[in-house]
Structure 1
Amino acid sequence: NKEKLYLSVKDSGIGIPEEEKEKVFRRFYQSKNHLIYPVHGQSGTGIGLYLTKQLVEALGGNIWVKNNRQAGTTFRIILPLHSSNPLSQVPDVIAQNGNDEADNNVQNLREWQRERLSILVVEDNRDMCRYVCSILSPYYNTLEASNGVEAYEILEHYNVDFIISDLMMPKMDGLELSKKVKENFTLSHIPFLMLTAKTSEKARTDSYRMGVDSYIVKPFDEDMLLTRIRNILETRERYQQKFVDEMSVETLEISEESNDKKFMDQVMGVMNDNYQNSSFEVTDFAEAMGVSKSLLNKKLKALSGKSAGEFIRIYRLNLAYNIILQNKKTKNKNIADVAYDVGFNDPKYFTRCFSRQFNITPSNLLEK
C-alpha cells in the first residue's frame, strides 16, 4: 500500500526489436540498429541504461521498456515514494552523535577515506566516467575529469596515487596528458593506465612511449580493470622491496630517460656522500636534493615505498649489513665501529634498528 512514483520517458525513434528488450540493460550492449550521434568522434558506450537499471534497483524500484504502437520506445520506472529524503538527515546525525553509526553514514556519502589510495578518472563520456568510478569507489577514493586539461588542474591541487584516462578526448587527449604528467617532476611517479577503443599496435606503442604503464581496450570487464590496477601497484611494491634489499636503482625498473631515474640516481649520490655524517637528517637531505621536505617525502614514498627518514636509516643499515659480512673475514671491526662508520652515534640504537630490519642482531650475523 506504499505510495510509488511512476516515471515514463518516451521517444519517437525506430523502436527496439523484441529480442533485444532485455539486452539493452546489459553493460556495454548496443543494438545493431542503434543510431550514432558522434560526440568528439564517439558514439554511445552502452553504459547509460546499465547504470540506470543499477540505480533504480538500488532504490528498490523497477525499470522496463515497451515499444509504442506507432513509433518509438517508452522506458517506464516505478520507485517507492518516501515522504522525506533519508539522506537529508545525515549531516544532523553526524553533527549530533559523532559515533560509529555516523561514521558509516559518512562512508555511505562516499567521502574520502585517508587510508585509501586516490585514483583520478579522466573520461569525456559522463556515463563511462561514472561507471568506472562506481567500480573503483568500494576500494579507492576517486576524482573525475572530463578531459586532459581538467585532469592536469586536479593533479596540481590534489594528491593522486593513480591515473586512469581515456585516449580520445577533446582539449587534451590521453597521450598528451600522459606526456605532461611524465615530464612534470612532481607528478612523474604516478602510475598511468590508458583506456582505449583502439587496438592497433601503433596505439599501444605510442602509449608506452609516452610513459603509460598499461592499457585496457574497451569494452572491458570490471574484474579485469580492478585486477590490472592491483597488478600495477603490486608490481611496483615488489620492485620497491627489491630496491630496499639491494639499494640498486636498476631494481626499480624505471626508464633510463625518465625524471624519476635521474631523481633516484641523485638520491643515491647524496646518500653516498653523507651517510657517515650522524647529524645528516631529512632537512639536510632535502636541501642537498634541491627540493622541499614534502616533495622529497612524496617522491621517495612513491618510488621507494619509504619516507625520507626511513630511507636514510635503511640506506645506513644496508651498508652496515655488508660491512659486517666483509668483517667476518677481516675481524678488524666490532659492532660499535660499524655503527659509527654508517652514521649511527648510539650503538645500542643501531642494534635495535638493525634487528628490526633484518630479524637478526649484528653480533649474531657476525658470528653466523
Structure 2
Amino acid sequence: MEEIGQMLKHAKPGILIVDDNDDILDYLSHDMEKSYKVFTAKDGEKAFSVLQNEFIQLVVSDVMMPRLDGFELCEKIKLTLELSHIPVILLTAKNTLQARIEGLKAGADAYIEKPFSLDHLYAQVENLLANRLKLKQCYAQSPLVHINSIAHTQTDAAFLERLVNTILAHLDETQLDVERLSVLMNMSKPTLYRKIKSISDLSPHDIINLTRLKKAADLISSGNHRVNELAEEAGYNSAGQFRRNFYKYFKMSPSEYIEKAYARTY
C-alpha cells in the first residue's frame, strides 16, 4: 500500500473552481494550477457536468451564481452517489449567520467569506485533502479499521456499508471480481469502479481483498484460528495466497498478527 501513498503525493489533485466572475475565475485558476489540476465552470449546472466527466477531488465554489447557485450545487453533489465524497468549499460575500447555516445544511465542508486570502484558501484545500488521504491510508493499512472511517457523508456511508455487506455475503465466491460485484450492486462496472476509486483511492479488487483480510483479522481477534482456517473463512483458495495478501496490505504475516492479538489479551 506504500505505492498508493507515493503515487498520490506526486499526482496533482483535480480541483474544480466555480464562479461567474471572470476575473476571480482567472485569478484563482491561474494561481492554483501551480499545485493542482484545475478545471473551471461559470455556474452550477456547468460545474455539475464537469464533475460527471472529470476526476475531481475538491470543489471551490462561489455562492451567488445564475442557474444553479453554490448552495444548490453543494447539496446536489452531496446527494449524488457518484459525487457525494467530494469536499466542497463555499466562497461567499454573505457573512450572516443564516448564510453559514444554509451552507452547513447544504453539506459544505468549509465556508470562506469574501474577501479572502489565498493563504487561507490553500490551507483549507490542503487540510481537507490531507485529512482524507490519512483516513484512506489508515483504512488500507490497518487490519481492524472499518471502511466507514473513510465516509464523509451519509450517502457514502450507506454505499460503503452496502458494498462491504455484499462482499461478505459472497466470501465463498473465491473468484469474486469487479464484474460480479457490479452485478450484485446493481451498478455498471465503470460507475462502481469510479465510485470506489474516488472514495478510497483503491480499486474494487483491493476493496474485495481488504474486506476478506479484515474479516480474517476480526476472526483472529475473536478467538483461536489456524492460518489455513482463516484463509478458508476469508474465501481464499490457498493459505499461501492469503499469507501473501495479508503481508502486502498490512506489512505483517497472519502469524505475526495472531501473536500480537494473543499478546493483547494477556
TM-score normalised by the chain length of structure 1: 0.63
In structure 2, give the amino acid aligned to 1:177.
Answer: L
Closer, same or farther: CA 250–364 of 1 in aligned 2, 3 Å:
closer
What is the aligned residue count? 249
Match in the other structure for 1:323:
219
CA 1:153–1:254 in structure 2 vs 1: closer, same or farther (change >3 Å)? closer
Matched-pair contact (CA < 8 Å) for 2:148–2:160: no
1:177 aligned onto 2:177? no
How far, CA to CA, are the matches of 1:277 and 1:208 in structure 2? 43
Pair 1:171–1:325, CA change in 2 (3 A): closer
Cα distance in 2, alignment partners of residues 283 and 250 from structure 1: 23
The answer as to whether partners of 2:44 and 2:65 remain within 8 angstroms in 1 is yes
Equivalent position of 2:146 in the other structure: 248
Aligned partner letter, 1:251: S
Structure 2 unaligned segments of length 5 or more: list them: 1-9, 261-266
> Larger C-alpha radius of gyration, 1 or 2?
1
The answer to whether the 8 A contact 1:118-1:140 is kept is yes
Choose between structure 1 and 2: higher helix proportion. Answer: 2
Identity in percent: 30
> Residue 264 of structure 2 aligns with which residue?
none
RMSD between aligned residues? 2.0
Partner of 1:296: 192
Cα pair distance change 1:250/1:282, threshold 3 Å: closer
How far the C-alpha of 1:250 sits from its partner, in A, is: 4.4
* Corresponding position: 1:312 with 2:217: no
Does residue 257 of structure 2 align to residue 346 of structure 1? Answer: no
**Which runs of 5 or more residues in structure 1 are unaligned?**
1-113
* 1:167 equivalent among 49, 63, 86: 63
Alignment CA distance shift 1:235-1:279 (3 Å): same
Q: Is the 8 A contact 1:355 1:361 kept in 2?
A: yes
Alpha carbons of 1:243 and 1:359: their partners in 2 closer, same or farther (altered >3 Å)? closer
For 1:197-225, what per-residue CA distance to the aligned partner results, in whole angstroms no more than 9, with x for missing partners?
A: 11111111111111111121112222211
Could you tell which deviates more after superposition, 197-206 or 300-309?
300-309
TM-score (structure 2 length as normaliser):
0.86
Distance 1:366 1:152, change over 3 A: closer
Provide the residue aligned with 1:212 in structure 2: 108
> Separation in 2 of the partners of 1:326 and 1:150?
51
Check 1:184–1:253 CA distance in 2 against 1; reply closer, same or farther (3 A cut).
closer
The DSSP-based 3-state class of the residue aligned with 1:120 is strand
Q: Distance in 2 between matches of 1:291 and 1:127?
A: 41
